[in-house]
Structure 1
């Protein structure tokens, strides 16, 4: 079985702050953000809602994609999110069932 990596975007309750990250365990990582187990940007800005993710098979590919998205302006990130999740729902419960 090949390893999977995830590039993801999270936001706060009001969808005003966006955070892009990469991980090999999306459910664990989102749990850490939601419960503020890791100090830093996401804890400071109350970023607890998973609004977008995509899967990569290679870590280098995932990191490259993360950097690409991080370089985008807010409108481009918003369009990416709304292509998958037009209502900006929290996708955390959905990924737990994967």
Structure 2
């Protein structure tokens, strides 16, 4: 089954990071845009999916979601662009590469 971690750009330009179990993320995005969730995105519709990653292990996905939620806007924008050099540089400002998910290219080797 697994879990998707995803990032939405809201109509006000802010980002929302969330997760959804299953093999298809599109129904969750439809639910956000339909106002199904009365949380953060409800008053910031429409939303657009700007990044997602599937994790086979739910615990890995939850850990990544929590980590990304704590990132700066600049780091989230670098993730959207898949700019691993920028993510690495931005992580070094806040305590090293420990803030970068382990499955990303900057952590391989």
Between the aligned partners of 1:30 and 1:81, the Cα distance in structure 2 is 17
Larger Rg: 2
- Structure 2 portions without partners, runs of 5+: 84-109
After TM superposition, the structure 1 = structure 2 runs for residues 13-92 of structure 1, keeping only pairs within 5 Å, are: 13=11, 16-25=13-22, 26-83=25-82
TM-score relative to the length of structure 1: 0.75
Uncovered stretches (5+) of structure 1, i.e. residues with no partner:
85-98
1:19–1:47 CA contact under 8 A, matched in 2: no
Partner of residue 8, structure 2? 10
Q: TM-score, normalised by structure 2?
A: 0.68
Superposition CA RMSD, Å: 1.6
How far 1:40 sits from its partner (Å)? 1.4
Please report how far the alpha carbon of residue 13 of structure 1 lies from its aligned counterpart in structure 2 after TM superposition. Answer: 3.6
Which fold has the larger relative contact order, with Cα–Cα distance below 8 Å and residues 6 or more apart in sequence?
Answer: 1
Distance 1:33 1:57 in 2: 23
Runs of 4+ in 1 over 4 A off after TM superposition: none
| Cα contact 1:7–1:21 (8 A) shared by 2 | yes
